[in-house]
Every structure is written in C-alpha cells, then in structure tokens.
C-alpha cells in the first residue's frame, strides 16, 4: 500500500522532542526539555473530592455537552476577569478548549489560508510553529529584546507582508521568558489596530509570576485589557494546565463574539467538545471552600522561584562562564545563549548520551536561527533532579569548550 | 475591525443543529435530532469509584502524558482486539483520540489535500461532511442499499475520480442504520486494495447490536478484520462514548504504524493529547472486578432495542402511513423516508414550533439530496419522552399530509 499523505503533513514528523521523550521514559533520564508543571504540587486531594462530588450528583456529568464548554465554568471565568482584572467579558465571549494549544490551532484553522503571512515572536514556541506550518502559513518572525517585540521591526514587517494576524505571549514568552513592558504592549496594540491585525495573546504563563513582596503590585496588564471594548483586536488565550493540572486539559479563548463563534464551529467539527467531566470537576474545585486558587498559585510560584534560583546558581559554574542569559521574573523557562561557537543541537546530542535533555533553540525559530541558544525548564525537575540534570549538561558543555 | 476568516471556514456556520440545540435547552423541548446515549444508563457509581481510585494513587494522573494516549489503555484495547475479535493489533498501532470525531478529523488533516476526492456513503453523517468541507476535499457520494455500499457504483466512482480515501461506517451507519452484509464488505475491501485506497472504517456504533438469543453469533466481522495483516488498507476507528460515557471523550484509531504515527504527530500539534485523567479512569473501570463491559453493553442494548420497538410501533400510526423505513438491528437511528411530497426541512420547521426536533436528511448529503428523509434518534429519549416527541412530530406530519 502506497500511502499518500497530505503535502504539508510530513513537516510534522521532524520533531526531535519525540526522540527526547522516548529517552525520557528511562527512569534515570532527566529532561529539562519539557513544558511540565511539578506533579508533586498538584491539588490531588482536592481534585479527588471534586470528582466524588461531581460523580455523585448528576449523570449529565458524563453526557455530551455544549461545544462552547460547560456554562458554569465559562461563567466563573467571566467573573474572574471582572474580579481579578476589572474586565467585563461575558461567558458567550469565552470558548473552552483542550488547552491553549487547541485554542491556537482552532484560531489558525478558521483564520489562516495557505500562504497567509502570520507574524510571530522570534524566537517562538515549537508548538505554534507546527500549527502554522501545517496550515501553510507564511511565518514572519518579528525581532524583540528584553522589553518585548520591537515596534520598528513590527511596523516594517507589517508594511512588507500585509499580514492579518500576530501571535505573541507577552508574559514570560516561550522560550525566552521575556515579560513585555507596558510601553511595548501599547505600541504593538496601536500598530495592530492601525493596520487591522488580529492579535492572539497567549497568556498561558502569566499567573506564574514570581513577585517579591515589594513588586507584588506591578503586574503588567495584558494587551487584551488595554483595548476597550475588549476583544476587538485581541483574542486572549489562557489555561488551567499550569495553575491547576494539565490532565484536566482545560484552556480557553476569550474575544470578539464572531471570532469565538467561528472557533466554536470548528471546535465542534474537530472533537465535538472537550470533556464535560473535567470541566465540571474544575468548576467544582474552583468553587470549593477548601481550595483557594490564588493561594495555590502563590505556593507554586514560591517553589518555582526557588528552583529558578537554584538553576541560576548552577549557571554560575565555570562551564557556563561565556554563556549569557536574563533571569526571568516568572514562567517556566530560562533561555541561555551558549558560549561562543557552541551549537544547541550538537550539545543536545552530547547531553542525551549523558542522560539529560533540554530544548535546542533551533526548534524555536522559523528560520532555524537561535541555534546557539537552549531552553531550560526549571518547573518540572525537583531540586535534586535539577542539580543532577544541570551537572550532566554542564559536563557536555565542558567537552565542547575544553576542545576550543 | 474587519475580520478576515479563512476561505473555507464560513462553511462551518451553516449547521441547523446549532439552532436545534439552542431550542433544546428549554425543559419541555424533546430532541430526537441528537446522537446521544441515555444518561440514566451511565455507570455513574462505578466511574466515581474509578475516579477515587485513580486520584488517590498517583499525581501523574493529573500530569501531561503521551500524545498517543495512556499506555495501559492502549494495551487493554490491544488485548480486547485479541480476546473479542481474534485479531493481533499491537498497542503502538493504536492512537487514543477525543472521540471518533477527532480520529476522523486527524486522519483527514494528514491525508487529504484540498481538491482531493474522498468517497463517502450516501447519505452520510453531518460531522464527516463538515470535516471534509473544511479540508477542501471533493466529496464523492457512493450509493448503497440495505446491504451496504454498491460495488458497481463504488468501482465507477473510483475510475471516475481516482480517490485515495473511502470513509464508511458499515455497522449501523449514520444516518441510515444499515448494517453491511459480509459479501459487500469483502467486495468493497477488494476494490480498495486493488485501487490502492485507504478505508476509514468508523465502528462507533458496532457494539450497539440488538441481537436476540438465536442470532447472537451472527455479528458480521469488520472490514478491518477481513484484511491480513490488519491495517494495511483499513484504519479502524471506535469509541467508548456510546458504550461507557461520552464525557470521557475517549475514542481510538487502529491501523498501519505509519498512518498512526502521522496522526499522532498532528494530534500533538492539535491539542498535545487527550485527558490522561479520563483515560486512566476508563482503564481503571475496565479493569475493575465490579464492572463488566460486556454485561453493561448487553443492558444498554436491551433498553435501546425496547425504545426502538416503541418508535416502530408509533410509526405504524396513520400520520406515517405513506412513509417507509427499514428497522435497524442496532445503532442509534431510524431513517425514515417521509410520505411523498413532504420535505424534511419544512417538517422540521413545523416540528420545532411544536417543541420537538429530528435531524433533516438534507444535512446528511453532500449534494443536498435525501431532503425527503429524516433521522430519528431512539437512544436518548426515555420511553415517555419518545412517545411525546413522536406525537408532536406526527402532528407536524399530519399538518402537511392533511393539506394534500
């Protein structure tokens, strides 16, 4: 049988992450390549209670539901927008999805035709690049710095390519961990409004903000919240995967009613709906007196901040002396520019032999740039694992730098 | 803001099912339009136990998992193939999906380029037509009768269109409820092998088989099982949505390793993975000593067979005297050809005013044929509801036929 796959489907098979995941099944292997929260911090007991409560009541918890997602959870999100951000976002402007990855895939399927130029951050997340490649988009990277996307380059790319879509994660963007300044957010929004671009703002990591006592109040508003009314030019996507638990597979998109309706229609076609059972469990948890989401996130952030500090300490060792990095104030990743001459893909091969992995920068660039960078995850490995993993990667670095 | 949606996305918004669902939220409304199992028959208590068990053990139940799906559940499916069907299907040839709808969407995304001809049954399911339309396929309907697809017409369509894909549901196909004969299955397989077509065999309804004691042994083998080795020309898709519970959102695809790998890659891009929590709960249930899947399905089938009998009795009333239908031996639907001159869309409008709905046949045809047919679901409404719903639809029929 000669299988005849769709022309762009082959682009999907090239992910080195698949090989890393195969290796990572070995017990002793340490992966800093993934985008995983720490499972030992999940609210396991509270979710067990939520499951019992949901499954003791109503067989409809096991039935098909609405493509938009469970109504009371969309209502909760609407109230959360109001409570925490002072924004008015009605439930019918919210679609529940199987994580932010699905929200992004759905939007791209309804908004992008093959050949359409789409602006992305440079570097950006491998998952986003894959979605855009399968849809046949022309991927246009826009340069940024430690304050976010550069408005001058953005404007130049808009004029050159006439795109209709910009995709960005202004809070602790994947992979660099950069938090955009308020000024940049305003400038980017203004340019997109002026030229009629839709912005997809991925805020998957926004709640993982490692504030200390004195800068608690300085969280920077989302681009979504800077526009009034919300949603005209910005589709805001978020998730409970990093703040509660990924296996609930619950993310959301919030925005203009027409965009949400179109995404809902393709969602229904793609999988009818995400699990009502998971959405009801999550809603039950969030409404429970025994669980406070903000306290839970505070606990996560204290632990993740500690792990990040440990990683930064380990990067002070001699192996890394010619590398450069900026310490992020949140998120899940540290983005490291390797010592001169060192290539992330070659380092990964050496590192895999030692039993540790990270994400090579080449996977985060549409044009195969950022080969000299690597992305290290500090949220999943426990402290001991982190120490051991960094030791193994350091050994690999030394093998290269000692040669030069 | 001028939203500029992808060119084919608009085709998604035309579903009258969305309006029916809005109406069906009213308490008194009775919908025979849906494809829902009976929620009062769900194993609620057993699943509550499974949830408690899974969430008391291992925080990994809440973590991200593999795109392919939870290993032990794929192992269970592999053993089930062997136990119940005598087939050897390895776990690595199985992908878990968010229901069969996602399995079909994923396959179409990796296998179909815009303009590619794809053969479908005529009539076929609205969900399949939507997937094919969004992908830009050329939909080629193949005629059938009460024994399944007609080989002569299939061969003619293959010669005329040179398609690479055929999609069919030989067990109680949606919407007609037809069960293909063994002979037809063999003929269709032979033609597809000869011309190098991949068959997607949707067996979502196959377990809902209303055998009586004497024909228990006469279940007809799947097309998938007729080929050796399995999977070369047939991708087999199935689901626990109809046999256990839809909210677990667990379906699967089984087939050739290359096809499964490609689907896994696009699955990962589309939503990373389905819920590991749901898959673990389902696996726990299936392995539990307190739950026997075959007994549970037997109970479902006895009740569904009774509801079908009731519906058939109600169709003997005078309103329906010039309608025709074949009583299916399983599945979820009864497909009725209306009295001459009556149109399903017009009847639906009249019926909605009375507070009842069904699926109009026009939604099941690529070429807007089968307007004179309607699809009635007999699994979801309880007996009283079924009686009331059929009364309301009968009234609507009489309004038309009385006029003539």
According to the model, what pLDDT value does residue A288 have? 97
The rounded distance, in Å, linking the Cα atoms of A27 and A345 is 23
Distance CA A88, CA A81 (A): 7
- Using a CB-CB distance cutoff of 8 angstroms, which residues of chain A are in contact with residue B164? 4
Average pLDDT rounded to a whole number, residues A33-57: 96
pLDDT in tens, A382-404: 999 999 999 999 999 999 987 66
- The pLDDT score that the predictor gives to residue B153 is 98
Chain A residues closer than 8 Å to B247 by CB: 61-65, 275-277
Beta-bridge partner residues of A54 = none
How high is the pLDDT of residue A15?
Answer: 67
Sorted by where each begins, the domain ranges of chain B are 9-42+294-403, 45-287
pLDDT of A326-379, one tens digit each?
999 999 999 999 999 999 999 999 999 999 999 999 999 988 778 999 999 999
ipTM greater than 0.90: yes
- Residues on chain B touching A260 (C-beta within 8 angstroms): none
Asked if the Cβ–Cβ distance from A42 to B36 is below 8 Å, we say no
Topology of domain A9-42+294-403 in CATH is 3.90.1150
Candidate from A4-13, A164-173, A199-208, B327-336 with smallest mean pLDDT: A4-13
What residue has token string 């009364």?
A: B391
Alpha-carbon distance B67 to nearest alpha carbon in chain A (angstroms): 10
Q: Which of A379-383, B183-187, B214-218 has the lowest mean pLDDT?
A: B214-218
Interface of A with B in 292-321 (CB under 8 A): none
Q: Is B171 on the interface with A (CB under 8 A)?
A: no
Alpha carbon distance B201, B157 (integer Å): 18
What number is the average pLDDT over the span B63-86? Answer: 95
The answer to whether A9-42+294-403 and A45-287 have equal CATH topology is: no
pLDDT at B1 (0 to 100): 87
Distance from CA of B113 to the nearest CA of A (A): 5
Residue A16 pLDDT: 65
| CATH fit for domain B45-287, picks 3.50.50.60, 3.40.640.10, 3.30.1280.10, 3.40.50.1980 | 3.40.640.10
Confidence grade of residue A218 (pLDDT, cut at 50, 70, 90): confident
When pLDDT is averaged across residues A134-144 and rounded to a whole number, the result is 96
HSE of B19, CA atoms in CB hemisphere, 13 A: 15
What pLDDT shows up at residue B264?
A: 96
Mutate to test the interface with B, among A229, A269, A300, A377 (most CBs of B within 10 A): A269
Pairing status of strand B359-360 against strand B138-142: unpaired
Query: What three-state secondary structure class fits B287?
Result: helix
Choosing among B2, B3, B91, which should be mutated to test the A contact, i.e. which has the most A CBs within 10 A? B3
Of the candidates A1, A6, A241, the beta carbon closest to that of B111 is on A6
Position A85 scores a pLDDT of 86
């Amino acid at each position: 049988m000669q299988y005849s796959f769709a022309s762009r489907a082959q682009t999907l098979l090239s992910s080195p992450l698949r090989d890393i995941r195969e290796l990572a099944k070995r017990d002793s292997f340490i992966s800093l390549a993934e985008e995983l929260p720490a499972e030992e911090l999940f609210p396991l007991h509270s979710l067990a209670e939520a499951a019992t409560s949901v499954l003791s009541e109503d067989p409809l918890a096991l039935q098909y539901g609405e493509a938009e997602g469970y109504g009371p959870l969309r209502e909760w999100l609407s109230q959360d927008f109001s409570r925490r951000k002072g924004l008015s976002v009605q439930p019918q402007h919210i679609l529940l999805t199987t994580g932010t990855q699905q929200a992004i895939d759905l939007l791209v399927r309804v908004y992008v035709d093959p050949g359409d130029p789409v602006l992305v951050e440079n570097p950006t997340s491998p998952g986003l690049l894959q979605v855009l490649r399968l849809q046949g988009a022309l991927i246009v990277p826009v340069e940024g710095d430690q304050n976010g996307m550069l408005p001058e380059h953005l404007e130049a790319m808009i004029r050159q390519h006439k795109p209709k879509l910009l995709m960005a994660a202004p809070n602790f963007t994947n992979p660099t961990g950069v938090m955009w300044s308020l000024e940049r957010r305003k400038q980017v929004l203004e340019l997109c409004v002026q030229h009629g671009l839709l912005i997809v703002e991925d805020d998957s990591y926004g709640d993982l903000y490692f504030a200390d006592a004195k800068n608690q109040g300085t969280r920077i508003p989302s681009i979504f919240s800077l526009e009034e009314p919300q949603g005209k030019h910005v589709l805001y996507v978020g998730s409970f995967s990093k703040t509660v638990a990924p296996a609930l597979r619950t993310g959301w998109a919030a925005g203009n009613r027409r965009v949400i309706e179109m995404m809902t229609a393709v969602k229904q076609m793609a999988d009818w709906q995400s699990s009502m059972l998971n959405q009801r469990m999550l809603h039950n948890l969030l409404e429970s007196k025994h669980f406070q989401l903000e306290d839970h996130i505070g606990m996560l952030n204290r632990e993740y901040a500690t792990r990040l500090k440990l990683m930064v300490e380990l990067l002070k060792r001699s192996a890394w002396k010619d590398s450069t990095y900026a310490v992020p104030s949140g998120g899940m990743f540290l983005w490291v520019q390797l010592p001169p001459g060192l290539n992330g893909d070659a380092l990964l091969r050496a590192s895999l032999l030692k039993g540790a992995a990270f994400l090579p920068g080449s996977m985060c660039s549409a044009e195969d740039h950022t080969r000299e960078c690597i992305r290290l995850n500090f949220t999943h490995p426990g402290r001991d694992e982190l120490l051991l993993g960094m030791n193994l990667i350091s050994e690999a670095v030394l093998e290269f730098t000692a040669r030069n």
